Amino acid sequence: MQNPTERASTLAGGAYAFGAYLIWGFFPAYWKLLGGVAPGVIIAHRIAWSFVFVAGLLTLGRRWPELLAALRRRRTLGLLALTTSLISCNWLLFIWAVNTGHVTEASLGYYINPLVNVLLARLFLGERLRPLQLAAVVVAFAGVGWLALGLGVVPWVSLTLASTFGLYGLLRKRASVESLTGLAVETGLATPVAVAWLLLVPASGAFGSTQGEALLLVGAGAATAIPLLWFATGARRLRYSTMGIIQYVAPTCQLGLAVLAYGEPFTERHAVTFGLIWTAVALYAADGLLARRPPVPAAPPVLRT
């Protein structure tokens, strides 16, 4: 049983995590409002204004020494350079997918992402797959294979989003740097490229075509950083298995927007694919719940005379 302080911390952690995934779930609605702006321009603003927002937080918390220390560690800096490339590609592809009518495929990518994480942990960290985890991975990739057979093409948007975010998480885990500091380094490394890109864009398109688009582009920094920080706060207060279940709020919201709000097709083949993915999710969640249970104590031996 948790004491009142632990219970309050868990409830707060749940609120932070749920809020983060809810924002991510409705992100397509934000990027849809910028449908008239080129994806490259959107991602450049997202990176640059994220750095400005995070730099402000570092200043308020007097945490610049942490960032400077991270920059002095070659291994950490090298890993963060790789994560910068991965998360930038992930963000760019997601924005492109939203504004070209591929939100359903994007949601599928984030449904299978946790299962990709399990597979990456097996391949690169030597973690053994428990039976339910293995079953979840097999069922999920059967679903992806079924969709690929029906479409005649590999669902590359889904797989690229899942793999880039999975590799990003794997490398960030090895970087040994706090979340805010890591995000500051990543956006700081990418900001010169983002600014250079904006300077190449005609002035009439660098901030969109309306005042509303300009405000949304500037606000993309806070919209990016806030859920990441909420996620980090929630992850510190919740069990890993609990986070594993809450994370499905985001792709569920994305799928709802895709089908109900944007009218993207959801065929029988999609239904079978997502049915298999949801089965895999259920297996993954069940594994997490079973893994957190304390072992049942063995019965005392029976004394025989």
Q: Using one digit for the tens of pLDDT, what is the confidence trace for 37-94? A: 999 999 999 999 999 999 999 999 999 999 999 999 999 999 999 999 999 999 999 9
Q: Is the pLDDT of residue 145 over 50?
A: yes
Residue pointed to by tokens 């709802």 = 256
Higher pLDDT, 8 or 276: 276
Nearest Cα to Cα of residue 90 among 23, 29, 32, 39: 39
Higher pLDDT, 62 or 115: 62
Q: Is the pLDDT of residue 276 over 80?
A: yes
Nearest Cα to Cα of residue 119 among 108, 132, 128, 131: 128
Tell me what pLDDT residue 175 has: 84
Most confident of 43-52, 119-128, 176-185: 43-52
Tell me what pLDDT residue 215 has: 94
Mean pLDDT of 10-23: 88
> What whole-number distance in Å separates Cα of residue 75 and Cα of residue 81?
10
Q: Is the pLDDT of residue 292 over 50?
A: yes
**Lowest mean pLDDT, pick from 15-24, 71-80, 145-154:** 145-154
Higher pLDDT, 7 or 163: 163
Tell me what pLDDT residue 216 has: 95
Higher pLDDT, 107 or 127: 107
Q: Is the pLDDT of residue 275 over 80?
A: yes
Q: What is the pTM of this model?
A: 0.85
Tell me what pLDDT residue 302 has: 39
Tell me what pLDDT residue 194 has: 95
Mean pLDDT, the chain, rounded, equals 85
Mean pLDDT of 18-22: 91
Q: Is the pLDDT of residue 300 over 50?
A: no
Tell me what pLDDT residue 294 has: 52
Nearest Cα to Cα of residue 66 among 145, 186, 180: 180
Per-residue buried b or exposed e for 94-119, using 16+ beta carbons within 10 Å of the residue's own CB: bbbbbbeebbbbbbbbbbbbbbbbbb
> What whole-number distance in Å separates Cα of residue 278 and Cα of residue 111?
8
Strand partners for 208: 206
How sure is the predictor about 303, in pLDDT bands with cuts at 50, 70 and 90? very low
Per-residue buried b or exposed e for 199-234, using 16+ beta carbons within 10 Å of the residue's own CB: eeeeeeebbbeeeebeebbbebbebbbebbbbbbbb
How sure is the predictor about 184, in pLDDT bands with cuts at 50, 70 and 90? very high
Tell me what pLDDT residue 6 has: 76
Q: Is the pLDDT of residue 125 over 50?
A: yes
Mean pLDDT of 137-148: 84
Contact call for residues 92 and 220 (beta carbons, < 8 A): no
Tell me what pLDDT residue 11 has: 84
Q: Is the pLDDT of residue 122 over 70?
A: yes
- Residue range 199-251, pLDDT digits in tens: 988 877 788 888 999 999 999 999 998 998 888 788 778 776 577 678 888 98
